[in-house]
Amino acid sequence: MCGRFVSTTPPAALAAHFDVDVVDPVAAAHRPNTNTAPGSAVLVIRDDGGERHLESLRWGLVPSWAKDPAIGNRMINARSETAAVKPSFRRAVVSRRCIVPVDGFYEWFRPEGRRTKQPYLVHRSDEGPYAVAGLWERWRPPGHGADADRPAPDDVPDPTSELRTVTLLTTEANPVMSTIHDRMPVLLDPSDWDEWLGPDRLADGRLEALCQPAPDGWCTLRAVSSRVNDARHRGEDLLEPVQPLEGAPPSTDGSTPGAGP
C-alpha cells in the first residue's frame, strides 16, 4: 500500500512537467509537504474537457453514494487488480482516472525479531516526480436531493459544497520494492499519461497492462528517520538518509547515512 508520500515540487514546475493547461488557484497555493498523510489536500492532474487541470483534492476517496465522508479514511488505496469490480471504485475506473504527482513515497520494513520498523523513502534516481495512477470521485453531503431532511456530518464545513477526493492505485511490488514490501503504487510511464487521463473507458486488458509493476530502475531506496512515523513532522530532515536497522535492507540510492532512526 502507500500511506505517506512526499510532495515538494512547486505547482508551476509540475504544470510544466505534466503539460498542464489550467492550474486551479488552490493548487497554485499548495505548500511543500515531505510527509503527506491520508486526509491531506493533495495535488491531482485530471482531464476536464480535453484540458489537463492541476487541482487540489482530499486524499481518501468518498464514493458518491456514501452517507458519511469518514469512509474516505479507509479508501486511500485501491488494488488495481480489483478496482474495476469494487463498488467504491468501478465507476471512477471508467471515466474518473487521474494522476497524483509525488516526489517519493514511504514504506516500512520490520526486521525479523524486532518490534520497530525501518522506514524507507522510495524515489527516482533523477529526483523527478512520479506519476501515480489515481481515481477521483465527487460527493455531495446529505441535505441535498433525496437526503434533504438529513443533517450534514460535522466534518463538512460547508454543507452546500461538493467534496472531491482521490485514491491511489497499487499493484504488486517490483523486485526492488519486494525487499521491503509486497505492494507498491502504480507508476505511469509518460507515454501512457494521455490514455490514463482520457475520459473514455479503457479498452479490454488496458487497465491490467497500465497497472503493471514499475521497472526496477525507477525505484531507489533510502532508509530514513523514524520521525516520519509521526505525520506532524514535515521538515526536510525527514528526507535525510540514516543507517538502516540491523537486519533491514541497505539503501540503494548511494546516500550517505546520518545519525540513524
pLDDT for 154: 46
Tens digit of each residue's pLDDT (9 = 90 or more) over 82-112: 999 999 999 999 999 999 999 999 999 999 9
Task: Give pLDDT, residue 152.
Answer: 43
Cell of 176: 526492488
pLDDT at 257: 85
Task: Give the model's confidence band at 10: pLDDT under 50 very low, under 70 low, under 90 confident, else very high.
Answer: very high
Mean pLDDT in the chain? 92
Task: Identify the three-state secondary structure at position 99.
Answer: strand
**Contacts for 218 with CB less than 8 Å, ≥ 6 apart:** 124, 130, 187
d(CA 184, CA 173): 5
Q: What is residue 36's DSSP assignment?
A: E
Can you read off the three cell numbers belonging to residue 255? 546516500
CA angle 57-59-64, nearest 5°? Answer: 75
φ, ψ dihedrals at 69, nearest 5°: -65, -10
- For the segment(s) 5-239, the CATH number from 3.30.2010.10, 3.40.1350.10, 3.90.1680.10, 3.40.630.30 is 3.90.1680.10
Give the pLDDT confidence score for residue 105 in this predicted structure: 98
Q: Distance between the two ends of the chain, CA-based, in angstroms? A: 22
- Gyration radius (Cα) of the chain, Å: 19
Dihedral angle at the C-alpha atoms of 88, 91, 94, 100, nearest 10 degrees?
-50
At residue 124, does pLDDT exceed 50? Answer: yes
Cell of 53: 487541470
Retrieve residue 180's grid coordinates. 521491503
pLDDT in tens, 129-172: 999 999 999 999 876 543 443 444 444 445 457 999 999 999 99
Average pLDDT over residues 63-86: 95
Give me the pLDDT at residue 157, please.
Answer: 44
Q: Which three cell numbers stand for residue 232?
A: 506532524
Q: Could you give the residue numbers annotated as active site?
A: 2, 107
Question: Are the beta carbons of 177 and 222 closer than 8 angstroms?
Answer: no
In this predicted structure, what is the pLDDT of residue 160?
Answer: 54
Q: What is the 3-state secondary structure (H, E, C) of 146-201?
A: HHCCCCCCCCCCCCCCCEEEEEEEEEECCCCHHHCCCEEECECCHHHHHHHHCCCC
| Dist. CA 185–CA 190, nearest whole Å | 16
